[in-house]
Structure 1
Amino acid sequence: MAGPIAYIALYGALYAAFGAASPFWPKLFETRALTPQQIGSILAAAMLVRLVSGPCLARLADVLGSLRLVLASCAVLAAGAAAGFVWADGFWWLLVLALAQAAALAPTTSIADALSVNAAKPQMGGRPFEYGWIRGSGSAAFVVGTIVVGQLIGPADLMPVIWMNASLLIAAASATVFMPAVNAQAAPPAPPASLAFGEVGALLAIPRFRILILVSALVYGSHSMHDAFAVIRWSDAGIGTSVISVLWSEAVAAEVLVFFFVGPRLIERFGVRGAAILAAAAGIIRWLIEGATTSIVLLSMIQPLHGLTFALLHLACMDMMRAVVSPTVAATAQALYALGSGLVTAALISLSGILYARYAGAAFLPMAALCALALPLAWYGFADQRARCGPV
């Protein structure tokens, strides 16, 4: 297993593990006699831990210069925490295990992206290797993981969730053994790394990196209202669960399609600036229409825009990241990228409940405004440059 296949195996196992577990952890906690308030406390605490742990462990990976080792170690620790749910009972034990797994999982996607983005393009092993292929395989694997575990579990038996999550995380750790080391020969020289976060300041001193984080936080954060209240809004409008599942699957399918095929071609045609502008414009259209109507026909027409508002922007950000960030701090940069959107999303999810309670569908208008704000920033900051910048 070498080259792209190893990366696809890593992303497939990692995201299938997410798909097999993340939708079902709350239900598992409920079967352990936790109250809704206790479940909410665990989920909120896990989110806070991820926001702190992700950048710290990603920075450690850069300092050690061994991204694969840290990634594999985190996956194994997360698998161990998952296995602990078999025996854990009571709020405090479940909280400890949930926080341990959240801390271990937090940097995995950032480190995986740091490895794959710098290994991809223009070629690996003499063959073309697109980052979108492996990231798209991850999105597809998430769906497969959710579907498969859904067939295995029963109303009161969620043990398959635990074992499938743990097994897939071990498989992800094993896949790192077959991943070739990233060739950092072209990287600019960097000072000796330390656990001090001076390099974080140097990264944030890069204007285009700052704008990248801001644009991604605005556009990704604009999904908060949809993620939190779209299903509730559609259900209240009389749309059945089978139709809702189709609408949701339509968005995921568009995401996979853009990662694999459409996105790389759009970036080749319009560049990263054009792709980022297109993603923000698609967000404006998507949230304006979703806030104005619950027509199944119109909703089905705008759901594929998720491929642009998420997948295309992510590809543009990865392409830009490869151009302006040295591989020696790639994991740290990826963690900051995830942290920016994570903080904004967490804040907007908290705000979305208030907005939706007061304004219902009109609460989607501020989400469109966030994408409108991202448009001039994308034009200013997402310039096409294929050569790396100087030391960061």
Structure 2
Amino acid sequence: MSEPVISKTSAYGRLSLYYVAFFSVFGIALPLWPRWLEHHVSLEYVGLVMGISYWAKLVFVPATSWMADSTGNRKTILLALSVVLIGGLILLPYLNGWVFYAIIWGAAGAALSSAIPLSDGLTLRAQQTLGIDFGRARLWGSLSFITFSLLVGWATDVFGIEAIYVAMVLTAVFLLIATISLPGIHTPPKPGKVSFFAPLALPNFPLFIVTVALLLSTHAGLYGFGSIHWNKLGFSNTQITVFWVIGVAAEIGMFAISGRLIAKYGAIPMIIAAAGGGIVRWILLGLASSVIVLVFAQILHALTFTLLYMAFIGYIAKRVPPAISASAQGLYDTLAMGIFFGVFTIAAGWLYQIEGAYSFYFMAVISAIGLILACVLLKRVRAHERQLSD
């Protein structure tokens, strides 16, 4: 059966709607979901519950990425992930004890975050085949994150902590509807058996994927305990969401210019810049108790996340064949938001119990390691490119 013809405008609109829906959920999950969890499980287990959702991606991401490359169909998989998320959220109020929360949110949280490499891969494919602007489509997600973070943060201050849960369920249903409307862009699968680990055979790819995954996972301390830490410093739920919004506003600005930066300077130098920004940001968040310092630290999100992620996309688009791109993005996500994020979230939780700032200082150390690896990567890639040109 032939695929329906999809126009550039239609694909852009549908993908933008998906990003609006996805980040309406994520705009609640990142800044506010730990606040809801700490009212249902003790604080010492919040990091463990969150961490297990990242570890569960060790199953979700390889399986879904392999299916995407084997079939060339990302949309059906995204639909299944949306259903798992909704099912998990519906079950949570009936649970008692952190173990059950870890199991159910482990699956639901993994389903939510596992959609990122697949949806971004679909958008990247639309960029390659239809010419849509990846950053422009992704911008709508950032705007949605801001809107829903502010609205739900305000609703939590007015109506209480359960407003977070209600908003999560409603936005998850919105996500399912938006997923149904996604364009069915097909990627021709590679002939023969597709291996999830095939991208690791590409020159310098293992070092690249470890470097970007390590740097992205430095957000574990912020995502797991940033809101809790700021609340203990005396900030309200509305103020906390404003801090998150500032980071996303900086993200939007970077999305608008990152393409030009990467085209001019290259992906790897931008990864180095992101690593340097991470060292500064995490140290500031550990030291910060004033609004001014917190605002500046959050503005650095433009480097630590957006520039880093767009450099990752740029590297993939240039150096990874489309037939194995889902596996390449899946490997990255498995490391960044699975293995590394899970370990670092739990480590941050232990450190936070000792002293809140320690969890951020730990992330600064990881950023420094990532900076060293990025410099090594740049040297190796340039040496490889010189060999090819000889």
> Shift in Å at residue 165 of structure 1?
2.9
Counterpart in 2 of 1:135? 138
> Shift in Å at residue 305 of structure 1?
1.0
Q: From the superposition, tell whether residues 22 and 203 of structure 1 become closer, same or farther in structure 2 (CA, over 3 Å).
A: same
- Counterpart of 2:173 (choices 167, 173, 190) is 167
> Shift in Å at residue 228 of structure 1?
4.4
Matched residue count: 368
Distance 2:336 2:232 in 1: 29
Matches within 5 A, 1:196-275: 199-230=195-226, 244-259=240-255, 261-275=256-270
Matches within 5 A, 1:28-177: 42-84=49-91, 88=94, 90=96, 97-120=104-127, 124=130, 129-150=132-153, 154-155=159-160, 158=163, 160-161=166-167, 163-176=169-182
Task: Report the identity percentage.
Answer: 27
Whether 1:283 and 2:268 are equivalent positions in the alignment is no
Counterpart in 1 of 2:191? 191
In structure 1, the gaps of 5 or more residues are 388-392
Q: Give deviations 1:54-77, integer Å, cap 9, x for gaps.
A: 221221222222112222232234
Amino acid in the other structure paired with 1:19: G
In structure 2, the gaps of 5 or more residues are 1-8, 386-390
> Shift in Å at residue 273 of structure 1?
1.9
Q: Do 1:114 and 1:330's aligned partners in 2 also have CA atoms closer than 8 Å?
A: yes
Counterpart in 1 of 2:377? 381
Q: Is 310-319 or 217-226 further displaced after alignment?
A: 217-226
> Shift in Å at residue 311 of structure 1?
0.6
Counterpart in 2 of 1:313? 308
Distance 2:29 2:192 in 1: 39
Q: Is 37-46 or 63-72 further displaced after alignment?
A: 37-46
Q: Do 2:154 and 2:237's aligned partners in 1 also have CA atoms closer than 8 Å?
A: no
Q: Is 163-172 or 328-337 further displaced after alignment?
A: 163-172
Counterpart in 2 of 1:390? none
What is the TM-score of this pair, normalised by structure 2? 0.79
Q: From the superposition, tell whether residues 35 and 252 of structure 1 become closer, same or farther in structure 2 (CA, over 3 Å).
A: same
Q: Do 2:213 and 2:340's aligned partners in 1 also have CA atoms closer than 8 Å?
A: yes
Q: From the superposition, tell whether residues 378 and 182 of structure 1 become closer, same or farther in structure 2 (CA, over 3 Å).
A: farther
Q: From the superposition, tell whether residues 250 and 27 of structure 1 become closer, same or farther in structure 2 (CA, over 3 Å).
A: closer
Distance 2:246 2:44 in 1: 32
Amino acid in the other structure paired with 2:160: P
Q: From the superposition, tell whether residues 166 and 248 of structure 1 become closer, same or farther in structure 2 (CA, over 3 Å).
A: closer
> Shift in Å at residue 41 of structure 1?
6.1
Higher relative helix content: 2
Distance 1:29 1:361 in 2: 21
